[in-house]
Structure 1
Amino acid sequence: MSATLSKASVSVFASPSSWIESDALDQCHQVAALDGMVHVAAMPDLHPGKGAPIGAAMSSRVLYPLLVGSDIGCGIAVFPIRIKRPAPERLATRFPDLDKPLDPDDELLQDQEIPMGYGEQLATVGRGNHFVELARVRTVHDEAHAERLGLRAKDLVLIVHSGSRGLGERILRAHTEEHGAGPAADVDAYLTAHDAAVRWGSLNRRLMAARVARALGAPAEEPIVDECHNSVTLVDGRYLHRKGAANGDGRDVLVAGTRGTASYLVAAHAGADANYSVAHGAGRKMSRSDALVRGKAKHTVEELRRTPVGSYVVCGDRQLLFEEAPTAYKKIERVIDDLVEHKLATPVVSTLPVVTYKVADKGGRR
């Protein structure tokens, strides 16, 4: 469905039965009314964000840092991992503390070029919806494509979702303190910093995967997928801002579900009408405050730490457990169906969580 009420065109790639908040649609039209905007493509995981919708790809003749947000370079990477006898409860106790940065002398940092020299939070996951997950391939939907990626049913993978941490925040703050929500005054300077944050986010995901593999006694592997979903690039002579939307131009993308549901690795083939983008996850259907209130009325902490699919959640922050409960998110299958129906992507494999790491549990609950 499309709308032409704003200066720029707005297209929503979701079926009428999909959950799309009116506030998120309003934000799309507010963005479309900005000077220089050309087209806003809203993904099926669309939901309201701070100053701009999350789950949208927005093309413009003007670069707006706020449309990328503070977590520049945030994305999801998928790594193969080989573990003998992967018992979820035992493995959950062996995850490293990913809130604590690596020691500067750690072998994983040797010969690493750290973008902008920002080593303060390197190899840490952060809060919010970020996570590191040991998952198992549940279903292979496209055998030939899965084989090219080296994936088979029952294989284990590490899924790492994080970004540029304080570096991205620092870059956005430097802009907003002077220019607020306005366009970048020095496009080249912003893009130089932005590109460094994107590289930092990718390095961060790789280092976390290596930390987890080492802790679980597995060799470190190169990622088979690593796509960021908060970025701006030049496409067709325009600035394409993605906020919670992944590059869908012939890429493989992991569309994350929740810690209690499946995720889907898809082959993306989105065109210009979708701003060459696809969804990055299930998308919230409850605010954090609503999820906290409703979750406490429905669930106990222990219920949220052991999911219906038999996986374990490592999370020492009780409030975050409720805020990030699976019920706070849309159904991932509906999001994937919308991508397929709109010819934006094709499923390759689906995965189910075994252990999901959110925040270190220093209380030793087990």
Structure 2
Amino acid sequence: MENKVKVIQTEKSWMESNAIEQLEKVSELKGVIKAVGFPDLHFGKTPVGASLVTTDIIYPHLVGNDVGCGMALFSTGINKGKFKFDKVRGKLQRLEGLENVDISHLLEQVELPMKEALGTIGGGNHFAEFQQVDKIYDEAALKEIGLNKSEIYLLVHSGSTGYGEYILRKYIDKYSCQNGLRENSEGYKEYFEEHDKAVNFGKTNREMIAYRLLTTIGAKDSNKLLDSTHNSIAIKEHEGKRLYVHRKGAAPADIGYIIIAGTRGSNSYIVKPKANNLEYAYSVAHGAGRRWNRFSCKERLETVYPDKSKREKLLGSNLIYNDRRVLYEEAPEAYKSIDKVIEDMLGEDMIELVASLKPLITYKA
């Protein structure tokens, strides 16, 4: 390990200087031994698109208020030749909200706090998206995962919704956790107990979302093929020491194949991480990363697309939504180039490509 702070970018990569400064600042926290910013790094309450490794102490605020957030890929059993865009879009629009698909029989088997919120996508950049295989880079790996180029898949990005917010607020108020929780302290033990429940909540939530959407369109299959959590604290052993890997918008490099999301206007990628070491904080990028903050998106896009009707048609052509702000805040233009993010990681020999997935319909209602 050469330097405490490492930022994965090339000369052609665009990255906010204040995001790098923010990463450098949190790297000065007591116990931090490595801070890595990935090509999707951007400024937030704490650095987003980053992984920080500590010893002897944890910092829950570095993970944020959506512990357990991640992405899962599900099969549908629908051949792409039989996936009728207008028909599927119509079914999803008529649904008028995921809450209209009953999951009470599934919730009876769940023992988690706030389980009534399960099966909901949440706000921000969370989504569910029907996709098809676009390009295959590793046929054997694709087969190992259980994918084939003729089928439609569902990608779900969501987390612990209000439960994660409750956890962070509780430990800030009760233990001032933004100042750190020492290893094996009372706050540390309590936090990890709830943290692990939130990670389980996020995984279960993605499964419930998939159930609701796949039931709505009459899918024949619903196997979960991939699932990775990108907001969490993971424990690693290194040279006899216990390390705490804080991921905020960063995917694990130590669980096998993962999916890295693009935007609803660009492909997502299935990759095999190779960066399972301390130098890269045992992580890789999780997505495209924001270029614009949410508050400036509408003004920027009104300049790009001055004609209102044309603007809304272009931005919402493959999107199911009930909040008009989503058109602007989650527009593809508001994000970095996923292809550039992937290219930067390939340049660092951090990943191997398996396949790219093309977006068909994005659901955010």
Q: How does the TM-score come out when normalised to structure 1?
A: 0.90
Instruction: Determine which of 76, 83, 87 is the counterpart of 2:78.
Output: 83
Q: Secondary structure at the match of 2:178?
A: coil
Is the helix fraction higher in 1 or 2? 2
Q: Does residue 346 of structure 2 align to residue 340 of structure 1?
A: yes
**Is 1:92 matched with 2:89?**
yes
Structure 2 equivalent of residue 115 of structure 1:
112
Counterpart-to-counterpart distance in 2, 1:38 and 1:65: 16
The percent of aligned pairs where both chains have the same amino acid is: 37
Per the alignment, in what secondary structure is the counterpart of residue 343 of structure 1?
coil
Amino acid at match of 1:138: D
1:183 counterpart = 2:180: yes
How far 1:99 sits from its partner (Å)? Answer: 5.1
CA deviation string 1:96-119 (max 9, x = no partner)? 445537656x33334x22323x22
Aligned length: 345
Partner of 1:363: none
User: Is this contact kept in 2: 1:98–1:125, CA < 8 A?
Assistant: no
Once residues 347 and 221 of structure 1 are traced to their aligned partners in structure 2, the CA distance between those partners, rounded to angstroms, is: 24
- Structure 1: gaps of 5 or more residues: 307-311, 360-366
1:128-277 residue pairs with structure 2 within 5 A? 128-178=124-174, 179=176, 181-184=178-181, 186-236=187-237, 237-270=242-275, 271-277=277-283
Indicate how the Cα distance of structure 1 residues 235 and 169 shifts in structure 2: closer, same or farther if over 3 A, else same: same
What is the CA deviation profile of residues 305-345 of structure 1, one whole-angstrom value per residue up to 9, with x for unaligned ones? 11xxxxx1101211111011101111111111111111111
Partner SS state of residue 137, structure 1: strand
Which among 295, 310, 325 is matched to residue 331 of structure 2? 325
Task: Give the Cα–Cα distance (whole angstroms) in 2 for the partners of residues 295 and 177 of structure 1.
Answer: 39
SS in structure 2 at match of 1:209: helix
The answer to whether structure 1 residue 20 and structure 2 residue 15 are counterparts is: yes
> What's the counterpart of residue 30 of structure 1?
25
Q: Give the secondary-structure state (helix, strand or coil) at the position aligned to 1:81.
A: strand
Q: Which amino acid aligns with 1:323?
A: E
Report SS of the residue matched to 1:335: helix
User: Where does residue 51 of structure 2 map in the other structure?
Assistant: 57
Distance in 2 (alpha carbons) for counterparts of 1:276 and 1:305: 37
Question: Structure 2: how far apart are the matches of 1:218 and 1:171?
Answer: 35
Q: Could you say which residue in structure 1 is the equivalent of 2:308? A: none
| Distance in 2, Cα, partners of 1:348 & 1:264 | 7
Change over 3 Å in CA distance of 1:162–1:65 after alignment to 2: same
Where 2:77 maps in the other structure, the secondary structure is: coil
Which letter maps to 1:279? Answer: A
User: Is the contact made by 1:291 and 1:323 (CA closer than 8 Å) also made in structure 2?
Assistant: yes
Question: What displacement does 1:261 show?
Answer: 0.8
CA RMSD in angstroms, aligned pairs only: 1.7
Question: 2:230 is aligned with what amino acid?
Answer: H
SS at match of 1:93: helix
Deviation at 1:92, TM superposition (A): 1.4
